[in-house]
Structure 1
Amino acid sequence: MHVVILGCGRVGASLARSLAEREHTVAIIDKDPNAFQRLGPDFDQITVRGNGFDREVLAKAGAARADAFVAVSSGDNSNIIATRVAREHFGVKNVVARIYDSKRALVFERLGIPTIATVRWAADRLLRQLLPREQSHLWRDPSATLSLVELQFHEDWIGHPVADLERSTGHRVSYVQRFGKATLPTASMVLQDGDKVCLFVGDAEAGQVEAIAAAPPPGGEQ
């Protein structure tokens, strides 16, 4: 696979080295020639100096034969423009852009440009560490209508089959994390103390589902 990367900062350089170690071919673009020093002396892939949204620069990087294009420069506008040029002019189907502005990320996701909103992601992860009980969603889709949530279930659910919780909430459990390992639920799986139950739920239903899980199961303790 040939991958073109815009931005030879810490992320771009690390990604380029990782791809090269996996025996993929890489071309990395940056305006600053000193940035390529981050790649190390043993990096033997293509480096191109210039603007990542310039067609000639992209052509030098092999965009016409690229299987993927990744834009991780420090500028949102540059990343988006370069990604669109790679996709629309060079026909690269697998494209992704790093975006700092989370509002822009949502807009471009809806336009079909996959984005990684690093600030939003980092802030969410920090909030989960600081306020675990106030941050139930593990992932939210770009349209902000569907979330993967971790249910805080009442202690009386312990000993009940996962299927009972599914029937009460009206939602299928996606996975159960037990002793640090994620496991797909089975028909016979019983909830244990310390389990983390995760499922997908629409934002409109999340509050009701969380309230049902937080209350004792219907009919009292098993």
Structure 2
Amino acid sequence: MKIQEMLQHFASFPVAPLETIAPGTTLVLSPHPDDESLGCGGFIATAARDGRPPVVVIVSDGSASHRGSAVWPPPRLARLRQAESRDAAAMLGLPSDRLFFLGLRDAAVPTEGEEFDAALCHLLEIVRRHDCRTVLVPWRYDPHCDHEAVWIMGQKLRSLLPRLRILAYPIWGLTLSPDMDIEETVPTGWRLDVRAVLDRKRQAVQAHRSQRGLVVEDDPEGFVLPDHLLEKMLRPYEIFIAS
């Protein structure tokens, strides 16, 4: 199936209420600080507004976005990005005690081994403590190794706890070439209407100032969120793919 066909299927997903899409408490797994705001900020804000805030886990430390900066070496940048995530969560109405950081190294989130197993144990403890019934993970075709690794974490969680509903949210996959072929069957899923909280989502995205080119000044090659991605992320609906 080509990406263009996949995007057309996404656009045809039925619009459904939050409880239909993700019953119970939801665990949101975000590969980096900012993915939670970009991919499902509307979901987080809606759930928080409705009195059942999700649990949000930022998996990596976000320290690899400006590798060429001397002023912002990885440890300092990681601290900044964590602070930005806290600010973004507040914009979305998420209580501070529902936000967690695994602190895995950006661009090196594991898919197996001791570090992966330790992260999985931590997530299992969070799921059980908060009685999570749904887990949101990045779409498997997002073209970033950390997004794929977090998708794998979601699949492993479901293999250990089959009661979990795993849903995927696309971010960078929405920017792939329309003619690109992927090995995927016709998808099913839902769209969530986030128009009522879109301003909150926009503010949350804006809180990630380092990723918008507003903080680090000594790395001209550093990452900056592209306008074409922001345009796709700040639309009236968010997409959740049944995995």
What is the TM-score normalised by the length of structure 1?
A: 0.40
Structure with more strand by fraction? 1
> Whose radius of gyration is greater, 1 or 2?
1
Q: Give the TM-score taking structure 2 as reference length.
A: 0.37
Structure showing the higher helix proportion among its residues: 2
